[in-house]
Structure 1
Amino acid sequence: MNQHLFIAPVDIQSPRWQQAFPSALIATDAAQLAQAGCVWMLLRDTDDFAQLETLAKSGVKTIAMTLVESAEQARLALEVGASGYVHYLAAPVVLEQVAQVVAAGGMWLGADLMRQLVLATARSIPAVPANATRATVNGAKVDLSQLTSRELAVAELVAAGKTNKEVARELDITERTVKAHLGSAFEKLKVRDRLHLVLVMAAKT
């Protein structure tokens, strides 16, 4: 994912994009798509979502950019295949972080938006038996019994939408310990982020 292509109207293009990626291509359409390993697209109307979906389905990594961040727009962007969602004026260092996460197969959202989506997702999924030890996600079995009791406790609280600080307070452990348990749970369950964890924990059977 070496070459980055930014698609946006001329009057909304930002110099920060090439500050983050000096060799980035900046265009008003996807004419140079063949040269890109990652496409950053500014979302303004429903037509942009359709184009974003087409790009994502073509197999290219896509990142949605926005003029004003909103949980609903972020959800729609992810639903049509975007691997990330970020403000178009994000600092170069943030853009670099987004690219690294997406290149590694992850999904990028700002912390506040991630929390909103995790909470919304957790609330929309029916409750499952607390003693369940297996889950099926996208047809693949996930064995929750491989988690230690503390890793499972942390995972369940995070999947319920709690922050690391709230989990630490509830379990009477440090935030550093929460991060360690969460990282271990992510690795064992092969999940990429908190939203993915919500789906895994909700799929317990």
Structure 2
Amino acid sequence: MNHLFVTQDQALMPRWQAAFAEAKCVTSEQAEAWAGADTVVWVLKEEHAADGPFLRRLAQRATVVVLSMIPENSAAMEALQQGARGYAHALSPADTLKQIATVVMNQGIWVPPDLMAQVMGSTWRLLNGDQQVQSSVLEALTQREREVALAVAKGASNKVVARELDITERTVKAHLTAIFSKLDIHDRLQLIIKLTGKGASEKVSNAPSYSSSK
């Protein structure tokens, strides 16, 4: 797997190379020339904020992740619309960068937690989730897990779930881990599909996997 970082700021490379030792700092021209199916191209938003055509061209040849020093949900949506498969903070820890790479190279999409909540809420409403909840799925969970699962599916962030249920965010994450294991799923979008019984739907089952930290 090749990792190309499109930036003029060489000072950032040691941080990124902590995740990918062989990562290269390249120009936009080099990125387009070297991009391929086995390449993740990481683009620093602050240097290419308005260059939609550049992102679209890259996305046709490689997997693109946009990095930003000041992440914003609107910018994340714009990046995804241009073909990027991920959007994250430019100073993300090495472990997070590795997780992002794994997700996007497996046809998933990595977005910030706040945006994730918006995506999940919209998907739940689109699928008419409140009327489609599968009782047989909920029966596999404890009462508290059901509360967490439904809140997350409706678009609540971990912080909101923790506040509403008067538990810690760490406990919310633990419940999500248990829920995913019991339902044999891997992310929040799959949770919605499982809860609504839409797994057989061609349109939904072929949707990309959206990920962020649990």
TM range (shorter): 0.5 to 0.7
Q: CA deviation at 1:4?
A: 0.7
CA displacement, residues 28-60 of structure 1 (integer Å, 9 cap, x when unaligned): 1123224952111112355433322222233x2
Distance of 2:51 and 2:189 partners within structure 1: 24
Alignment of 1:13-52 (within 5 A): 13-29=12-28, 30=31, 31-34=33-36, 37-44=39-46, 45-52=48-55
Q: Is the 8 A contact 1:122 1:198 kept in 2?
A: no
Task: Name the aligned partner's letter for residue 94 of structure 1.
Answer: T
Distance of 1:24 and 1:5 partners within structure 2: 6
The residue number in structure 2 matching 1:177 is 175
Unpaired runs of 5+ residues, structure 2, are: 202-214
Tell which deviates more after alignment, 4-13 or 18-27.
4-13
The residue number in structure 2 matching 1:61 is 63
Distance of 2:37 and 2:24 partners within structure 1: 9
Tell which deviates more after alignment, 83-92 or 30-39.
30-39
Q: CA deviation at 1:186?
A: 6.2
The residue number in structure 2 matching 1:128 is 128
TM-score by length of 1: 0.68
Distance of 2:7 and 2:105 partners within structure 1: 21
Q: Is the 8 A contact 1:53 1:80 kept in 2?
A: yes
The residue number in structure 1 matching 2:79 is 77
Distance of 2:116 and 2:136 partners within structure 1: 27
Identity of aligned residues (%): 28
Task: Name the aligned partner's letter for residue 148 of structure 1.
Answer: L
Q: Is the 8 A contact 1:14 1:88 kept in 2?
A: no
TM-score by length of 2: 0.65
Q: CA deviation at 1:104?
A: 3.4
How many pairs are equivalent?
185
CA displacement, residues 54-77 of structure 1 (integer Å, 9 cap, x when unaligned): 22233x211111131111111111
CA displacement, residues 87-132 of structure 1 (integer Å, 9 cap, x when unaligned): 22323332222222323333223xxx32344236626946826332
Q: CA deviation at 1:162?
A: 2.2
Unpaired runs of 5+ residues, structure 1, are: 134-143
Root-mean-square deviation (CA, aligned residues, Å) is 3.7
Task: Name the aligned partner's letter for residue 88 of structure 1.
Answer: A
Q: Is the 8 A contact 1:164 1:179 kept in 2?
A: no
